[in-house]
Amino acid sequence: MTFTLHGQAVSRGVAIGRAVLAAASRVDVAHYFIAPQQVADELGRLRRARDTVVEEIERLRQGLAHDGVEAHAELAALLEVHLMLLQDEHLQDGVKQWVLERHYNAEWALTAQLEVVARQFDEMEDPYLRERRADLEQVVERLLRALRGESSPLAAAAPAAGAGGEPLVLVAHDLSPADMLHFKHGVFAGFVTDVGGRTSHTAIVARSLEIPAVVGVRNASQLIQQDDLVIVDGDAGVVIVDPSPMMLAEYGYKQRQGEVEREKLTRIKNTPAVTLDGQRIELLANIELPEDTLPALAVGAVGVGLFRTEFLFMGRGGKLPDEEEQYDAYRRAVEGMHGLPVTIRTVDVGADKPLEAHRRDDHLNPALGLRAIRWSLAEPAMFLTQLRAILRAAAHGKVNVLIPMVAHLSEVRQVHALLAKAREQLDRRGAVYGPVRVGAMIEVPAAALAVRLFLRHFDFISIGTNDLIQYALAIDRVDESVAHLYDPLHPAVLRLVADTIAAAQEAGKPVSVCGEMAGDVTLTRLLLGLGLRSFSMHPTQILPVKQQVLRSDTRKLRAWAQQVVASDEPALLLAD
């Protein structure tokens, strides 16, 4: 039966494919397709993993028997249940089917079937049986561990389509930004999550992957079944489950139209971003990893305006990258841009980008907690390591350092002192390093209101509108229940942005916007009218924004932009 779910449109385009449900805790298992001739080997891996786990449990049971049955009766009963689950035909047959018919690798097949069986447990009337779900999860965990001990040689890059040639759509309760990175070269053509907002980092990574995504769909992961056919409309924020043939035809058409539009835009790739009145506009790329410089250059970015270095720190069990590893990553990004400037933002962990050792739910208000520069200053040894790596990378090209979330003059002083210390340490080692310009992100309302103070201490500023909006409007950017209140066109937000741009211009210091507003084509004219000449965004947005730039005359936009900012309802004026 067809039904439609609504959420936040976060990454444009249409994906049509089969749903793959993944439990949040298990999205990090390997997802890849095996070749038809490898099916037998993969089933063999599963069999051996099961035998290993059965042996493990048998050994535990025997140990208990030696210890005296009385004391361990409950535990023995539990192990008995685990053994039964391991032999459960429904689990075994289902896993086998995923491998045979869909050509999923063993780990993926196991977690796909876990979702199917776990739901059936959830629906059981009997509370005792319902609780067996936890046992099932433990059994699957043991099997995954056994499979890990026997790694598959087949984990190669795979096309975004199942064995039947159908694309796949990942449906999960939540995906962390690190999970998303995991899928960078993965198999999914679309994403749907229950939670999240438009500027959550998960959404930002989805956009950078150019994969249609809808987040904040509340109970999508409950309502959608494994293998359901779904349409993800990343423009409208709609997910259609089990669509009719007519809907499929309509969305198939829309999908092809989108491809044609994107194709057309590539014609302006080499056209300089100059407005009708001759203003040169700098269009920069936001990147997460050094290899993202390739797509950035492919769309004609004239530099990197934001390298979110925290992605080098995530998804590694809390172990921090050392100086050499960071230096190597930053140098690769700098060299990848072939002489164009690269703005490296110091690590911004915390809030919705937790390190494993620094989880989001540890604190009541993680977005207001030890995040970004606050964390860096609380861990000076870690921060110095990063600063040294950045300074060394600056010997290979033009590098700017960008400090996230500054709000206090004391932070500014400490940053400059630590930079001086990092240089001293490099001098003592005789290491080669280069000059850097140092900039501040203006993303806390206090910093926007006192921006003149910060302009005195920094070479440039970059407006982080994602956080600026979050903090100005008191809206958690990852909370779907308040997502409708997250408004870049709120008069207070516009005033903060407009005043910050004006103050930087008065001070003669470069200013750019690197939040999602910079890549939103509906806001390009407004930002141009406010005097902005530098925009940093996902590579995917550069050409659509350039198209707007080429059609704009900033002389005509100036007075109108001021009217929009002064208006009670800016959105109405913008729509005209």
Q: Is 176 helix (H, G, I), strand (E, B) or coil?
A: coil
467 binds ligand PEP (CB under 6 A): yes
By C-beta, is 465 or 540 nearer to ligand PEP?
Answer: 465
259 Cβ contact partners less than 8 Å away, ≥ 6 residues apart = none
Minimum distance, C-beta of residue 56 to ligand PEP, in the bound complex (Å)? 43
Check if 363 is active-site.
no
Please, what is the minimum distance in Å from the beta carbon of residue 291 to ligand PEP? 19
514 binds, among Mg ion, ligand PEP, none (CB under 5 to 8 A by kind): ligand PEP
Confirm whether residue 467 is marked as ligand binding. yes
Contact region with ligand PEP (CB under 6 A), list: 175-183, 464-472, 503-511, 526-534: 464-472
Q: Rule CB under 6 A: choose which of 466, 500, 524, 547 binds ligand PEP.
A: 466
What does the alpha-carbon distance between residue 105 and residue 509 come to, in Å, rounded to a whole number? 54
Beta strand residue intervals within 111-195, DSSP E: 168-172, 188-193
Q: Is the CB of residue 333 less than 8 Å from the CB of residue 287?
A: yes
Which position among 174, 288, 352, 443 is part of the footprint of Mg ion (CB under 5 A)?
Answer: 443
User: Can you tell me which of 176, 208, 465, 540 binds ligand PEP, judged by CB under 6 A?
Assistant: 465
Site for Mg ion contains 234 (CB under 5 A): no
Give the start-end residues of each E strand in 411-500: 436-442, 460-463
Nearest to 289 by CA among 366, 189, 205, 214: 205
Burial class (CB in 10 A: 0-12, 13-18, 19+), 68: exposed
**Using CA of residue 124, residue 129, residue 134, residue 140, what is the dihedral sign?**
negative
Residue 528 · residue 557 · CB < 8 Å: yes
Nearest CB to ligand PEP, comparing residues 132 and 308: 308
Q: Contact region for Mg ion (CB under 5 A) — 9-17, 321-329, 333-341, 466-474?
A: 466-474
If the CB atoms of residues 82 and 201 are measured against Mg ion, the closer one turns out to be 201
Give the range of 64-72, 73-81, 215-223, 465-473 binding ligand PEP by CB under 6 A: 465-473
Distance CA 162, CA 101 (A): 9
Q: Please report how close the Cβ of residue 269 comes to ligand PEP at its closest, in angstroms.
A: 24
**Is 514 an annotated catalytic residue?**
yes
Helix (H) or strand (E) holding 5: strand 3-6
Report the residue from 397, 464, 529, 539 that binds ligand PEP according to the rule CB under 6 A. Answer: 464
3-state secondary structure of 358: strand
User: One-letter amino acid identity for 483?
Assistant: A
Q: How many residues bind ligand PEP (CB under 6 A)?
A: 10
Q: Restricting to residues 441-460, which ones interact with ligand PEP according to CB under 6 A?
A: 443
466 is in an annotated binding site: yes
Given the rule CB under 5 A, which of 261-269, 314-322, 464-472, 516-524 is the region that contacts Mg ion?
Answer: 464-472
**Residue 440 has which token pair?**
């501040």
Binding partner at 465 among ligand PEP, Mg ion, none, C-beta below 5 to 8 Å by kind: ligand PEP
Beta bridge partners of 534: 282
Taking residues 307 to 326 in sequence order and writing x for each that binds ligand PEP by CB under 6 A, - otherwise, the string is -x------------------
Give burial (CB, 10 Å; 0-12/13-18/19+) of 432. exposed
Residue 288, interface with Mg ion (CB under 5 A)?
no
Measure the CA–CA gap between 428 and 422, rounded to whole angstroms: 10
CB of 467 vs ligand PEP, minimal distance in Å: 3
For Mg ion, the binding residue among 7, 354, 445, 464 (CB under 5 A) is 464
Asked if residue 476 binds ligand PEP (CB under 6 A), the reply is no
Measure the CA–CA gap between 25 and 141, rounded to whole angstroms: 11
With contacts defined by CB under 6 A, name the span among 24-32, 69-77, 90-98, 462-470 that binds ligand PEP.
Answer: 462-470
Q: Are 523 and 488 in contact (CB under 8 A)?
A: yes
Task: Report the site for ligand PEP in 348-367 (rule: CB under 6 A).
Answer: 348
State the catalytic residue, choosing from 201, 358, 396, 538: 201
User: What string marks each residue from 331 to 350 as x (binds ligand PEP by CB under 6 A) or -?
Assistant: -----------------x--
- 345 labelled ligand-binding: yes
Determine the number of helices (DSSP H) and then strands (DSSP E) in the chain.
23, 16
- For helices 465-473 and 491-507, what crossing angle results, to 10°? 130
Rounded Cα distance, 59 and 142, in Å = 14
Residue 205's nearest CA partner among 248, 172, 176, 162 is: 176
d(CA 354, CA 375): 11
Residues forming the annotated binding site for phosphoenolpyruvate? Answer: 308, 345, 466-467, 477
> What residues act catalytically?
201, 514
From the annotation, which residues make up the binding site?
Answer: 308, 345, 443, 466-467, 477
Residues lying near ligand PEP in the complex (CB under 6 A): 306, 308, 348, 443, 464-467, 514-515
